[in-house]
Chains A and B, each alone.
Chain A
């Protein structure tokens, strides 16, 4: 005999929220008026699904190994990513922020959820929620400490708030002890959070492939 019930954790017939209803209504209207078709919506979902932090990780690993690429990436992030075939379907610019011994960068969008989607895909939920958005610009050191990333007082913190046409990507510091790593091995160390700037890259923290 077992005594637990079989109620699912999330009910399949939860009433849709106000915004879900609005999104459905607008989508149906756009289709009905033949402004967009279902194939275009599916295509856009496929575009988004093809973008994941693995792309950003490849960009970072290449920058660590190739000083000329690194220079081009810092001069114009979008153009350097385009060299690798990463398109900017949303027509945003990309500024790559280099972490050093003296500067630690952190990215945020206080107004909404601007995020370097062409290179990282969809943002994590916490990035879109108000606590992170409000606190990243007001008490970044405390936020970073909560992410397990205390920053020394003599290191300057730069918080970049994206407000419209520009997206940011943090170029983390390459961890020591990786001198013999291949590009693939290096990329496997670069996490999404490190490219947002809330963590550092470490040889103890690997991506789960």
Chain B
């Protein structure tokens, strides 16, 4: 598609993904009480965005409390070298983790 888009259209917050492939991000290091889909072992780590996965999804962390209206957000496939996760990692320096994390847990690096 190379048609020019109409100018002057303002998008709502969250309509476009904040990050794209190749961006460096930090995963929040917070510990809220409740149902969270971010494992402890990656909190506070930095990662590279490998891909934006599909279209926005209902934020299942809010859905877990029965709230789902207007709660869609983007989520990402992140790459983190295993040697950065575990100081004593035994294995190739190329070995890595891939994990999906939703936008509300990511900060730009």
Q: How far is the CA of A160 from the CA of B96 in the complex (A)?
A: 9
Which residues of chain B have C-beta atoms less than 8 A from A139's C-beta?
A: 89-91
The bracket for how many chain A residues form the interface is 20 to 34
User: B39 near A: Cβ within 8 Å?
Assistant: yes
Also in contact, A153 and B38, with CB within 8 A (given A159-B97, A163-B99, A163-B100): no
A138 x B86 contact (CB < 8 A)? yes
B96 x A158 contact (CB < 8 A)? yes
Also in contact, A166 and B100, with CB within 8 A (given A153-B92, A154-B92, A157-B92): yes
User: B60 near A: Cβ within 8 Å?
Assistant: yes
User: Chain B: how many interface residues by the 8 Å CB criterion?
Assistant: 26
Interface string of B76-109 (1 = CB under 8 A from A): 0100001001100111101111111110000000
Which residues of chain A have C-beta atoms less than 8 A from B91's C-beta?
A: 139-141, 153, 157
Q: How far is the CA of A55 from the CA of B103 in the complex (A)?
A: 33
Which residues of chain B have C-beta atoms less than 8 A from A162's C-beta?
A: 100
Closest to B101 in A: A163
User: B57 near A: Cβ within 8 Å?
Assistant: yes
Q: How far is the CA of A164 from the CA of B61 in the complex (A)?
A: 10
Closest to B58 in A: A165
Q: How far is the CA of A172 from the CA of B38 in the complex (A)?
A: 28
**Least distance between A128 CB and chain B CB atoms (Å):** 16
A165 x B60 contact (CB < 8 A)? yes
Which residues of chain A have C-beta atoms less than 8 A from B21's C-beta?
A: none
Which residues of chain A have C-beta atoms less than 8 A from B101's C-beta?
A: 163
Which residues of chain A have C-beta atoms less than 8 A from B54's C-beta?
A: 93
User: B41 near A: Cβ within 8 Å?
Assistant: yes
Of B90, B92, B98, the contact of A161 (CB 8 Å cutoff): B98
Give residues in A with beta carbon < 8 Å to B: 93, 95, 110-111, 137-142, 153-166
Task: List 13 A-B residue pairs with CB atoms under 8 Å apart, sorted by A's residue number.
Answer: A138-B82, A138-B89, A154-B92, A156-B92, A157-B82, A158-B96, A158-B97, A159-B96, A160-B97, A162-B100, A163-B38, A163-B101, A164-B57
